[in-house]
């Protein structure tokens, strides 16, 4: 079977130990065989017991007995009790009432008959204190249960072999696994023994209902725990298998549908269900005890106090013994006995009682059984039902329908049984059992009838009066539970009348009610007992009577404070008046009896405290007065009222408050005055002799004066005065309230600077306070989240204040750049909060950057009318931006212009005063001192360069072969191209006549990107060209300008034609190469040589493309020499201009950086040469096209950097010196030739 996951646990055992009761045979208890049914208390008919008060003489005692014609049969000197025999036919109840009313009698009661009640012989019975506590022995005289009544113990099972249980066990079920209902824990066995242990068998213990049967239902395991599903199944099984009562000594803290349905199922089948409240000592009752249709049980000890462990709550219905309870037990497979504690033990006491009630009357419904148990319970704790004991601790004897002791008026359930009451009598019958009706008879000769009934707190009495024919003549039902019913009838015919008194709900109450009957009707009756005392007004004289004989009058008067009470009685002549005065607890304070018949009695007693006081007036001889007497009770208040518990608040009285309340407590009713003073000047009257009752009071002050105007801030005094109704004046009480309706003001909040860099410094916050206050200064982000608490309730004086923020958060870390809110709040020293004041501050700790520039770095072809523009990453401090920090340079010289700035665009513009130079490189420098609004500087200078537009065509020239040369086979053309703006395209063109130009056949356009200048080569087969041809170079620069060289004339040779140099030397033609043979003696330490080719006319051609044979040096390759190479640059001093000869240096253009690097050189002003020794020829690759050399003088730019002066570029000849070689290969010495301004060996 699938189990519910909800776990239900049995009530925990609090105290755990064992005793073994010796087993054996003992004398059987006496069974008087009482018949089941209602049993009244027995007494000797016509006989009573009377005890007189100490000091009463034998003469007075005899006089009292004679009045009733009674005879003393026996007097016990030890007890002081007289056994009195009444005359035949005397009604004991009536005579007892007369004895009791006599002031000389201490008590009078019937002479009850006592029996030797049936007592079990079980040896453990004397330790079972719970059984006599609930009056089980008396109940056993009525019934010990019926074998047809079954109680299901839904628990851990029951020890099926226990000798003290076995005879009373029937059936059984195991809801856990369908097996045996045998107990494996002990708990269920203990519960079963309390209900129905086999009793009077000479062994073990006794049960509450020893003759009923137990059905064991196992739902809890060996640990005392089980599933909700099993418990619910066990309940339903028990209901289906004949259970009259189900005991549930188990529970859980949860209310479940499953449990409720099981409970309702059993209830609807007529089963009485009893469950334990729980052992957690808390104010909530466990389930199922808290469910409807379940009798919830708390536990008590032997003194009728709540057991320390017991749960309580509104679902507790009754209480029962649950501490140190002895019963049957199972332990480690043994049948034994144990003392246990718990509401688990209290519950079977109630279940056993329910079984006795069902045994007595098996037709009762579960609700009726529960009602009898509740009605018979002994009220404990607070009067009536409470959360601790419910309706009280159970009483088995009373629950079986027996009246409580002392109701001597039973049986009077019908008019025919009604006893005759004497006029003026007061008696105490009970509404018992449930549905009880009390009938009484009274004779009136005055035509008046006054009836008063005062029930117990929970009973609702109804009074009906019938005439002798049992016709209804009057009824009283004006109050509810505990209310006094008063019925006064007049104009009645003389004769007998019947009183019917019953409880409105038919409920049973063991506590008696008070009934008083009078036919006098003097306006104060019925007031024969203190409970029905007639309330009188102080100082007022009334005129009651003492009628009939033995009548006494009770009055009450209320004293709200200690004082004096004076009582006076002026009696008629035959009345010997006596007065007794009692406090609220009916403790006698004094007796006034100074005079005999007709003498006025008067006396005063001091009252030590306020409250209700009682006055008893009676005739000393219990005689009937022949007229009314004058009665006056005067209470004099001699105690001045006390003003206490004075407080005020809110104090201080702030702007946020509508009013300040002044509270105080009056000890008694008094006229109260409350006034407000500024110093000694009255400014406001809050109360002026206003009557206020005893207790707590409060008045409000709104901070205004009597004219309604708001008073200035400051300290004010209030004074409270009171005078009671007797004129007693209270001691004045005063206090102070500080009025402060002005809130602090925060003004002139400012942050300097409003944009700040934490790297540079702090932001300063300045503000002014209108008064001394506790200030909080918080930095928040734009979402309102706190970032930094700069001040937290810091006390600051009125006036100017400041604080600082370093840009950090509360963790010490830098906050992100952005806008923040500074919130300042203040609370003055009396608690008035200011309005929050906010200011904005921007944190900027990041240096400004450059987002875009114009022209772009390295841009070319820039318009001559351009302005230079910079957009920064953030707004710039305009004071840091000028022509000194935003500078345009042309060849190191600042360009004049104007700097402007647009803050919205964050754009700075440099506008030159004049147009820019054509085809010129310009550099722009932004100085690092430029700063943003927070003061963060740019740091390093920001530079870039651009070149203006090129409006000049390229300069071109054919360099080689020299004009007039003969061209044969494969020819390499060399051309010089120069342009300041860079070359885009280069063409070689030819023409036969110098006018119609065509591109050389088989060639494409030569493109080299943005090269400023250089040597251009083109090799092709001359076959097909005219015999006489013109060659020119066409160049197009990046600006689209086209330049043409001068045409050069050449002759075109056939492939078998040869032209050699006639300038000297030998030429060998080996393998198609020219060899120069130079004699060995032609070498010096450094031989100046030049390799060239000359035409037939001696014209020198450039040496490019020729090799030296022998010791071969290829000037177009990067072969390294083994020793230095010396290069000599020659110059013309007349062409130096303003340059100083001694300052000349050789520079070369370094390809990797495209910058000019100094090589140095030794200047000879005589020979006008600059000599440089190069250690690695390949490093400088003189003949390579990317190596360029210049002669120039150094100068300095605006930054102090040395650089060459391009204005000193000039065309100088140079010579190459080759190192000595041991092998004088074929060399030819030639003269030097002049290069163009490229100064580049080729």
Decide: residue 490, CB within 10 A, 0-12 exposed, 13-18 middle, 19+ buried: exposed
| 501/616 same-domain check | yes
Decide: residue 1000, CB within 10 A, 0-12 exposed, 13-18 middle, 19+ buried: middle
Q: Which pLDDT score, from 0 to 100, does residue 1153 have?
A: 65
Q: Is residue 1234, in this structure, part of any structural domain at all? A: no
**What is the Cα–Cα distance from 570 to 1187, expressed in whole angstroms?**
154
Mean pLDDT, the chain, rounded, equals: 80
Is 668 within 8 Å of 610 (Cβ atoms)?
yes
Task: Indicate the pLDDT class of residue 1024, thresholds 50, 70 and 90.
Answer: confident
* pLDDT higher than threshold 80 for residue 1158: no
Residue 85: closest CA among 52, 58, 48: 48
What's the mean pLDDT in 350-359?
A: 97
**What is the Cα–Cα distance from 1087 to 442, expressed in whole angstroms?**
175
The three-class DSSP label of residue 646 is strand
**What is the Cα–Cα distance from 705 to 713, expressed in whole angstroms?**
12
Helix, strand, coil percentages for the chain (3-state, nearest 5):
10, 40, 50
The three-class DSSP label of residue 321 is strand
Q: Is residue 19, in this structure, part of any structural domain at all? A: no
Q: Is residue 467, in this structure, part of any structural domain at all? A: yes
| 897/783 same-domain check | no
* pLDDT higher than threshold 90 for residue 481: no
Q: Is residue 35, in this structure, part of any structural domain at all? A: no
Give the 3-state secondary structure of 430-499. CECCCCCEEEEEEEECCCCEEEEEECCCCCCEEEEEECCCCCEEEEECCCCCCCCEEEEECCCCCEEEEE
| 1034/1087 same-domain check | no
Q: Which pLDDT score, from 0 to 100, does residue 1125 have?
A: 52
Q: Is residue 872, in this structure, part of any structural domain at all? A: yes
Task: Indicate the pLDDT class of residue 1006, thresholds 50, 70 and 90.
Answer: low
Torsion sign (Cα): 1115, 1120, 1123, 1126: positive
CATH number at residue 553: 2.60.120.380
CB atoms within 10 A of CB 658: 9
* pLDDT higher than threshold 70 for residue 1062: no
What's the mean pLDDT in 488-492?
A: 88
The percentage of residues in the chain with a pLDDT greater than 70, rounded to a whole number, is: 79
Tally of domains in the chain:
8
Least confident range from 118-122, 268-272, 278-282: namely 118-122
Residue 252: closest CA among 285, 206, 230: 285
| 1030/913 same-domain check | no
Residue 345: closest CA among 202, 173, 486, 153: 153
Q: Which pLDDT score, from 0 to 100, does residue 1004 have?
A: 47
* pLDDT higher than threshold 70 for residue 314: yes
Residue listed under structure tokens 């109680």: 151
| 760/725 same-domain check | no
Q: Which pLDDT score, from 0 to 100, does residue 27 have?
A: 25
The three-class DSSP label of residue 233 is helix
Of the residues 816, 843, 870, the one at which a domain ends: 843
Q: Is residue 308, in this structure, part of any structural domain at all? A: yes
**Helices 228-240/257-268 angle, 10° precision:** 10
Nearest-5° Cα angle at 303, 299 to 308: 40
CATH number at residue 269: 3.40.50.200
Task: Indicate the pLDDT class of residue 963, thresholds 50, 70 and 90.
Answer: confident
Q: Is residue 17, in this structure, part of any structural domain at all? A: no
Q: List the beta bridge partners of residue 1203.
A: 1195
Residue 786: both structure tokens together: 């706190």
The percentage of residues in the chain with a pLDDT greater than 90, rounded to a whole number, is: 47
CATH number at residue 673: 2.60.40.4070
CATH number at residue 940: 2.60.40.1220
Q: Which pLDDT score, from 0 to 100, does residue 522 have?
A: 73
Q: What is the CA radius of gyration of the chain?
A: 66
Catalytic residue among 141, 146, 184, 187: 187
End-to-end CA distance of the chain: 110
For residue 32, what is the enclosing H or E element? none
**What is the Cα–Cα distance from 1134 to 1146, expressed in whole angstroms?**
18
Q: How do residues 745-765 score in pLDDT, each as one tens digit?
A: 999 999 999 999 999 999 999
**What is the Cα–Cα distance from 659 to 649, expressed in whole angstroms?**
8
CB atoms within 10 A of CB 1210: 16
| 826/863 same-domain check | no
Could you give phi then psi for residue 1017, rounded to 5 degrees?
Answer: -120, 150
Q: How do residues 950-961 score in pLDDT, each as one tens digit?
A: 788 888 888 888
Decide: residue 257, CB within 10 A, 0-12 exposed, 13-18 middle, 19+ buried: exposed
| 521/592 same-domain check | yes
What's the mean pLDDT in 967-971?
A: 77
Task: Indicate the pLDDT class of residue 830, thresholds 50, 70 and 90.
Answer: confident
Task: Indicate the pLDDT class of residue 1053, thresholds 50, 70 and 90.
Answer: low
How many angstroms separate the Cα of 1240 from the Cα of each of 659, 866, 979, 1127? 104, 36, 17, 11
| 937/814 same-domain check | no
What's the mean pLDDT in 1035-1063?
A: 69
How many angstroms separate the Cα of 96 from the Cα of each of 77, 90, 755, 1129? 21, 10, 106, 163
Q: Is residue 1242, in this structure, part of any structural domain at all? A: no
Question: Quick one: residue 61, left, alpha or beta (phi over 0 = left, psi -120 to 50 = alpha)?
Answer: alpha
Residue 118: both structure tokens together: 């049936």
Which position has the higher pLDDT, 1049 or 673?
Answer: 673
Question: How many CA within 13 A on the CB side of residue 810?
Answer: 13
Is 181 within 8 Å of 174 (Cβ atoms)?
yes
Q: Which pLDDT score, from 0 to 100, does residue 1012 have?
A: 55
**What is the Cα–Cα distance from 133 to 303, expressed in whole angstroms?**
9
| 487/593 same-domain check | yes
**What is the Cα–Cα distance from 786 to 784, expressed in whole angstroms?**
6
**Helices 343-360/187-196 angle, 10° precision:** 40
| Residue 287 belongs to domain spanning | 143-399
Q: Which pLDDT score, from 0 to 100, does residue 1090 have?
A: 36
Residue listed under structure tokens 């086999």: 198
What's the mean pLDDT in 437-455?
A: 89
**Helices 366-375/343-360 angle, 10° precision:** 110
What's the mean pLDDT in 372-394?
A: 85
For residue 196, what is the enclosing H or E element? helix 187-196
| 1145/1082 same-domain check | yes
Beta strands in 829-954 (DSSP E): 837-843, 850-854, 859-862, 868-872, 886-890, 893-894, 897-902, 907-912, 921-926, 942-948
What's the mean pLDDT in 983-988?
A: 83
| 447/387 same-domain check | no
Of the residues 637, 662, 677, the one at which a domain ends: 637
CATH number at residue 997: 2.60.40.650
pTM of the model: 0.36
* pLDDT higher than threshold 60 for residue 352: yes
Which position has the higher pLDDT, 1221 or 534?
Answer: 534
Assess whether 344 carries a catalytic annotation. Answer: yes
How many angstroms separate the Cα of 1134 from the Cα of each of 934, 1130, 1172? 59, 12, 22
Q: Strand 272-276 and strand 295-300: pairing? A: parallel
* pLDDT higher than threshold 80 for residue 1095: no
Is 845 within 8 Å of 936 (Cβ atoms)?
yes
Is 504 within 8 Å of 482 (Cβ atoms)?
no
Residue 863: both structure tokens together: 């318009």
Catalytic residue among 141, 155, 713, 844: 155
How many angstroms separate the Cα of 342 from the Cα of each of 338, 756, 885? 13, 76, 96
**What is the Cα–Cα distance from 940 to 749, expressed in whole angstroms?**
37
Q: Which pLDDT score, from 0 to 100, does residue 513 have?
A: 85
Where b means 16+ CB within 10 Å and e means fewer, 194-216 reads: bbbbbbbbbbbbbbbbbbbbbbb
| 799/733 same-domain check | no
Of the residues 112, 134, 166, the one at which a domain ends: 112
């Amino acid at each position: 079977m699938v189990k519910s996951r909800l776990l239900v646990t049995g009530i925990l055992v609090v105290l755990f130990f064992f005793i073994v009761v010796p087993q054996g045979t003992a004398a059987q208890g006496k069974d008087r065989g009482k018949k089941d049914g209602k049993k009244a208390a027995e007494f000797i008919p016509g006989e009573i017991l009377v005890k007189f008060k100490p000091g009463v003489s034998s003469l007075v005692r005899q006089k009292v007995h004679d009045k009733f014609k009674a005879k003393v049969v026996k007097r016990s000197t030890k007890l002081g009790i007289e056994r009195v025999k009444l005359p035949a036919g005397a009604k004991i109840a009536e005579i007892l009432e007369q004895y009791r009313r006599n002031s000389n009698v201490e008590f009078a009661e019937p002479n009850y008959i006592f029996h030797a009640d049936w007592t079990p012989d079980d040896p453990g019975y004397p330790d079972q204190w719970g059984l006599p506590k609930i009056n089980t022995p008396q109940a056993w005289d009525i019934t010990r249960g019926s074998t047809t009544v079954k109680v299901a113990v839904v628990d851990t099972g029951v020890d099926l072999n226990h000798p003290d249980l076995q005879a009373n066990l029937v059936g059984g079920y195991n809801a856990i696994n369908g097996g045996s209902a045998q107990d494996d824990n002990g708990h269920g066995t203990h519960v079963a023994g309390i209900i129905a242990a086999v009793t009077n068998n000479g062994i073990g213990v006794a049960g509450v209902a020893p003759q009923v049967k137990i059905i064991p239902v196992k739902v809890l395991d060996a640990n005392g725990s089980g599933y909700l599903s099993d418990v619910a199944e066990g309940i339903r099984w028990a209901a289906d298998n004949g259970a009259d009562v189900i005991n549930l000594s188990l529970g859980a803290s949860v209310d479940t549908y499953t449990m409720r349905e099981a409970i309702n199922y059993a209830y609807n089948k007529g089963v009485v269900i009893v469950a334990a409240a729980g052992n957690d000592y808390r104010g909530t009752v466990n389930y199922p005890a808290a469910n409807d249709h379940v009798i919830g049980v708390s536990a008590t000890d032997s003194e009728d106090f709540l057991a320390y462990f017991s749960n309580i709550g509104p679902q507790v219905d009754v209480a029962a013994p649950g501490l140190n309870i002895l019963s049957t037990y199972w332990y480690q497979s043994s049948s034994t006995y144990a003392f246990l504690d718990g509401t688990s033990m209290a519950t079977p006491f109630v279940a056993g009682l329910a079984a006795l009630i069902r045994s007595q009357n098996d037709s009762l419904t579960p609700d009726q059984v529960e009602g009898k148990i509740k009605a018979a319970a002994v009220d404990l704790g607070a009067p009536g039902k409470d959360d601790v004991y419910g309706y009280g601790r159970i009483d088995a004897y009373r629950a079986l329908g027996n009246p409580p002791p002392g109701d001597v008026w039973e049986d009077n359930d019908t008019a025919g049984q009604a006893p005759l009451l004497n006029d003026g009598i007061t008696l105490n019958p009970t509404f018992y059992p449930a549905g009880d009706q009390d009938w009484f008879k009274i004779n009136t000769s005055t035509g008046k009838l006054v009836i008063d009934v005062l029930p117990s707190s929970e009973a609702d009495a109804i009074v009906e009066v019938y005439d002798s024919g049992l016709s209804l003549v009057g009824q009283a039902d004006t109050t509810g539970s505990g209310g006094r019913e008063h019925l006064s009838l007049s104009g009645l015919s003389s004769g007998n009348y019947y009183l019917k008194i019953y409880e409105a709900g038919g409920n049973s109450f063991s506590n008696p009610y008070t009934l008083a009957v009078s036919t006098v009707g003097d306006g104060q009756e019925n007031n024969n007992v203190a409970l029905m005392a007639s309330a009188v007004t102080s100082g007022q004289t009334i005129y009651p009577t003492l009628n009939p004989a033995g009548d006494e009058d009770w009055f009450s008067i209320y004293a709200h404070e200690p004082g004096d009470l004076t009582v006076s009685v002026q009696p008629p002549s035959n009345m010997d008046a006596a007065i007794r005065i009692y406090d609220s607890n009916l403790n006698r304070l004094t007796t006034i009896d100074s005079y005999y018949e007709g003498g006025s009695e008067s006396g005063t007693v001091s009252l030590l405290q306020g409250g209700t006081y009682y006055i008893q007036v009676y005739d000393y001889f219990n005689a009937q007065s022949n007229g009314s007497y004058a009665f006056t009770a005067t209470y004099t208040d001699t105690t001045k009222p006390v003003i206490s518990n004075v407080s005020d608040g809110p104090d201080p009285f702030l702007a946020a408050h509508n009013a300040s309340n002044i509270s105080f407590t009056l000890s008694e009713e008094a006229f109260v005055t409350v006034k407000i003073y500024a110093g000694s000047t009255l400014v406001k009257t809050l109360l002026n002799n206003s009557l206020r009752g005893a207790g707590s009071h409060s008045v409000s002050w709104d901070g205004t004066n009597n004219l309604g105007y708001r008073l200035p801030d400051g300290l004010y005094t209030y004074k409270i005065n009171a005078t009671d109704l007797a004129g007693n004046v209270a001691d004045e009480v005063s206090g102070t309230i500080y009025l402060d309706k002005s809130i602090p003001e925060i003004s002139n909040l400012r942050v300097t600077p409003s944009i700040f860099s934490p790297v540079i410094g702090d932001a300063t916050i300045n503000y002014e306070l209108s008064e001394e206050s506790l200030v909080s200064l918080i930095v928040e982000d734009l979402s309102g989240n706190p970032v930094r608490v700069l001040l937290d309730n810091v006390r600051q004086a009125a006036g100017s204040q400041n604080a600082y923020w370093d840009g950090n958060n509360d963790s010490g870390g830098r906050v992100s750049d952005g806008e923040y809110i500074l919130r300042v709040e203040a609370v003055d020293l009396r608690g008035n909060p200011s309005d929050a004041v906010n200011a904005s501050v921007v944190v900027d700790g990041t240096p400004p950057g450059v987002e875009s520039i114009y022209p772009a770095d390295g841009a070319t072809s820039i318009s001559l009318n351009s302005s230079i523009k910079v957009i920064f990453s953030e707004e710039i401090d305009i004071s840091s931006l000028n022509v000194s920090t935003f500078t345009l340079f042309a060849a190191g010289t600042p360009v004049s212009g104007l700097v402007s700035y647009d803050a919205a665009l964050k754009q700075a513009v440099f506008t030159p005063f004049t147009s820019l130079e054509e085809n010129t490189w310009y550099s722009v420098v932004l100085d690092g001192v430029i700063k943003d609004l927070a003061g963060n500087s740019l740091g390093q200078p920001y530079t870039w360069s651009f070149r203006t537009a090129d409006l000049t065509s390229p300069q071109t020239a054919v360099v080689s072969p020299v004009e007039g040369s003969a061209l044969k086979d494969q020819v390499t053309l060399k051309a010089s191209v120069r342009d300041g703006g860079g070359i885009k395209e280069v063409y070689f063109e030819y023409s036969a006549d110098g006018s119609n130009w065509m591109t050389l056949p088989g060639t494409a356009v030569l493109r080299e990107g943005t090269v400023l200048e250089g040597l251009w080569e083109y090799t092709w087969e001359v076959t097909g060209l005219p015999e006489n041809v013109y060659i020119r170079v066409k160049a197009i620069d990046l600006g689209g300008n086209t330049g043409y060289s001068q045409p050069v004339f050449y002759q075109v040779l056939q492939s078998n034609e040869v032209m050699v140099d006639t300038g000297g030397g030998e030429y060998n033609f080996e393998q198609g190469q020219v060899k120069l043979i130079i004699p060995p003696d032609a070498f010096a330490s450094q031989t100046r040589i030049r390799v060239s080719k000359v035409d037939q006319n001696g014209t020198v051609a450039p040496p490019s493309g020729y090799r030296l044979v022998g010791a071969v040096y290829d000037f177009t390759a990067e072969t390294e020499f083994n020793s230095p190479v010396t290069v000599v640059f020659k110059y013309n001093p007349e062409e130096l201009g303003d340059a100083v000869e001694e300052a000349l240096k050789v520079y070369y253009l370094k390809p990797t950086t495209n910058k000019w690097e100094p090589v140095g050189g030794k200047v000879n002003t005589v020979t006008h040469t600059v000599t440089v020794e190069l250690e690695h020829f390949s490093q400088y690759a003189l003949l390579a096209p990317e190596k360029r050399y210049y002669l120039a003088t150094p100068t300095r730019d605006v930054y102090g950097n040395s650089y060459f002066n391009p204005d000193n570029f000039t065309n100088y000849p140079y010579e190459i010196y080759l190192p000595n070689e041991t092998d004088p290969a074929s060399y030819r010495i030639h003269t030097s030739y002049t290069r163009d301004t490229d100064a580049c060996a080729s």
